[in-house]
Structure 1
């Protein structure tokens, strides 16, 4: 023991001399003044005893650490990032090392945080060290201790929802790691599942976002709906955003509302001001989650940017079909891109499969031919105020006659004529159509009476109304033969239903 103490004193003297020498050199550097640093803690020096303790903890030498417990003050020292020996002991594998370190540390430092706001218990949880976590909890460490960001232990440091700078609690850290044993242990020792992180997210949100089903099953019964409502976001949103259909299915079965809308304070962080969980799932192209949400009654027309628009933009036939069959409004108007005709059309001009999907589900085709200029000459513009990706508020005839789209005009108009009665073609559109190969067929349709069969279908569809056309349940109860129902719904033009998966002209 005496020899050990002698070596220790020698090391300490050497370290002290080195520190003094370096300090004197810094003082006499040109332009250096003898002023105390603004933040002394960031430049604090640790003793040789502290260094020996840390080295012993990291190497797992229990006997050597036990001998160092006589250096009481060194166990209360912290390095430049705020780590005590107890923090180091919490993240190594040996519970005995942690026990020795805890006994040697003053109780006043058991809840002390690093500069990142982490308590020893938080570090043990985040490292998934269950024995260390249990030991610290049994010895009275607070599972709800707030960190430097003001959040409780169950939440700390998950960063699960894009809030990288938002620290959180120990239980949230456990939920983030998906360790059900840690979550259970923390709850058994009084951790509160209803303490939010600074962003408002709860442990249940993080578990859902990360796809940790077992942790989620533990957290659902102990999380208050009032806390979820206060947060402004449902775990259903999180499961949908993270593309975790298993978690989503569990939440739906547990009774969570699939039509819970994001609070305004959450929505404002998204450029599109999205509201619904369905929007997250559609944006991800996550068919499994979309099916679950729609089957559970999710409404497809709640967001400022319609879910159908996202699916059309992706060109995802299955998503489009799912949304249409569950009541998506084909005649939506996009808030940020209003058109004289419904916005959906712009995504289908080059794809007959998608175009017929919209037309079959009640797209307002007649409005596309509603040109106020008629046979008169259209006003001339010195420039085309369009690009290939942006369609501004203008008439259909102005759109389809653009130089980069007019080659499609004949095919698009020919398809549209299957869904209208007699329509008038304005002078501008007519001039372009006359140059297309389908003009003779189009001209024949325009100048001859439509068949009675065709007119009857149009009349029945008009009497039913667009809402009923978009409702499969309503159609199933109509007292009509299936063949007639199929005719009313344009089944002969349902290219996707016929297994045609590419509709490029």
Structure 2
């Protein structure tokens, strides 16, 4: 028996089977003659064979199947045509054969997610497929249901394989921005936003795609960025990408561009500045870049310094202070009679002296209206869900879980004030501390003339100048005197002391 069968016999047999199967399916189709997109059983055998051939990359077989034109117009349950399948295959010849077999009217047809064949090719970073589709006139500005255009998808091309909206950020990431360049050459608009308002430049900056960002910067309209309400500076800072940040700064983007109100409302803290994003990330490199470029550290409802203090990050706090962070800010959430920053430094002398050296209003901490009188009794101790307006320092430092620190904190603070009066409540607690004898001596004796002169000079300078150390360089004073006025002998951080826990 001859077991040899020719390829022609196989093809003829397959064609016969297809015709029989198609005839059976036609009998059971609804009267409308339309296949149900929810049921694969209504897909023709021709469609299934075409898709199988596309996925296996059999060019010769696919060429023979091009005569079944209607099957190339069929879509599966998620709206994928054979052309969509071909667009995500590595073999460009498969795409070329499929495109020629497909009607012109389906070249821009979308899946149920709104993805055209070009969109899918860009998403999968298949540059040859992208180039071929663009050469044949596919629209580079069509958006999917999320509002992403092919260009925006290309700029966002680095992600996880399971995420259909970001899987293929590879096109514009680190070493492969070619798809972005190609799309721009064929008329893609860099100023078309997605539904959220973000532009391709925002996505590239947020993902850290430096090469794609270089391509997008010169073709992005500043007016479009302004309309979006957010700067790519924010995105680079939020993503902790200092190289992208540096590129944007060099390109002239404003480091003090503030988030639009409609963007800010999505954040509980109503942040506004790019600096706030960088500080929140603890990203020293980005913070340095922004401050060096002129970023203002006191623009956000929650002060950047407060964030750094809560982190306990000495370098970040020192950096912000050297660039004018306001040590005397007041927190809106928990308003205190004394500047709010102090509450984060009560257990840390290094951090405490940082604030005091830069002009913290120490005298306000000793400003108690009760004086020697007995304080009113409080039914509850400490901070509660109900904010007590204008809480005094003496009320805070004498709490049961903080009073053991009172002697050390007050002793440090006395280095920055003239004669002050200790109220009855604070005095009662201090008298139980080991440092009371030293504190009592300072309080009951005249301060040295040298100390008083330093306080006078600092008062004449004003807190704004104390927050700007560069101002001191313009004063015609000896270096030793400048150091004394700035309390350099108490700058523990500069002395290399990086832990000041009592």
Q: What is the TM-score normalised by the length of structure 1?
A: 0.89
Question: How many Å apart are 1:171 and its aligned residue?
Answer: 12
Assess if the C-alpha contact under 8 Å between 1:12 and 1:47 holds in 2.
no
**Farther off after superposition, 172-181 or 419-428:** 172-181
SS at match of 1:275: coil
Distance 1:95 1:251 in 2: 36
Question: How many Å apart are 1:340 and its aligned residue?
Answer: 0.9
Distance 1:469 1:2 in 2: 101
The aligned counterpart of 1:89 is 86
Distance 1:161 1:381, change over 3 A: farther
Distance 1:53 1:21, change over 3 A: closer
Question: How many Å apart are 1:152 and its aligned residue?
Answer: 3.2
Q: Could you give the per-residue CA deviations for residues 39-77 of structure 1, whole angstroms, max 9, x where no partner exists?
A: 99xxx8311111111111111000011111111111111
The aligned counterpart of 2:38 is 38
Distance 1:36 1:246 in 2: 51
Assess if the C-alpha contact under 8 Å between 1:154 and 1:173 holds in 2.
no
Distance 1:26 1:341, change over 3 A: farther
Distance 1:161 1:256, change over 3 A: farther
Distance 1:18 1:403, change over 3 A: farther
Assess if the C-alpha contact under 8 Å between 2:124 and 2:168 holds in 1.
no
Distance 1:501 1:171, change over 3 A: closer
Distance 2:227 2:4 in 1: 59
Distance 1:19 1:474, change over 3 A: farther
Assess if the C-alpha contact under 8 Å between 1:154 and 1:172 holds in 2.
no
Q: What is the TM-score normalised by the length of structure 2?
A: 0.90
SS at match of 1:5: coil
| 1:308 pairs with 2:312 | no
The aligned counterpart of 1:11 is 11
**Farther off after superposition, 31-40 or 318-327:** 31-40
Distance 1:5 1:292, change over 3 A: farther
The aligned counterpart of 2:199 is 202
Assess if the C-alpha contact under 8 Å between 1:161 and 1:206 holds in 2.
no
Distance 1:27 1:438 in 2: 99
Distance 1:118 1:32, change over 3 A: closer
Aligned length: 502
Assess if the C-alpha contact under 8 Å between 1:118 and 1:147 holds in 2.
yes
Assess if the C-alpha contact under 8 Å between 2:173 and 2:211 holds in 1.
no
Would you identify which runs of 4 or more consecutive aligned residues in structure 1 move more than 6 Å?
1-40, 157-173, 387-392
Distance 1:117 1:424 in 2: 72
Question: How many Å apart are 1:184 and its aligned residue?
Answer: 0.7
The aligned counterpart of 1:262 is 259
Q: Could you give the per-residue CA deviations for residues 124-145 of structure 1, whole angstroms, max 9, x where no partner exists?
A: 1111111011000001101012
Distance 1:391 1:162 in 2: 47
Assess if the C-alpha contact under 8 Å between 1:146 and 1:169 holds in 2.
no
SS at match of 2:9: helix
Distance 1:166 1:25, change over 3 A: closer
Distance 1:417 1:63 in 2: 90
Q: Could you give the per-residue CA deviations for residues 425-480 of structure 1, whole angstroms, max 9, x where no partner exists?
A: 00000000000000000000000000000000001100100001111221111110
Distance 1:411 1:25, change over 3 A: farther
Distance 1:373 1:161 in 2: 62
Distance 2:27 2:63 in 1: 40
The aligned counterpart of 2:492 is 495
- Identify unmatched segments of 5+ residues in structure 2: none
- Identify unmatched segments of 5+ residues in structure 1: none
**Farther off after superposition, 396-405 or 160-169:** 160-169
Assess if the C-alpha contact under 8 Å between 1:171 and 1:193 holds in 2.
no
Distance 1:263 1:66 in 2: 55
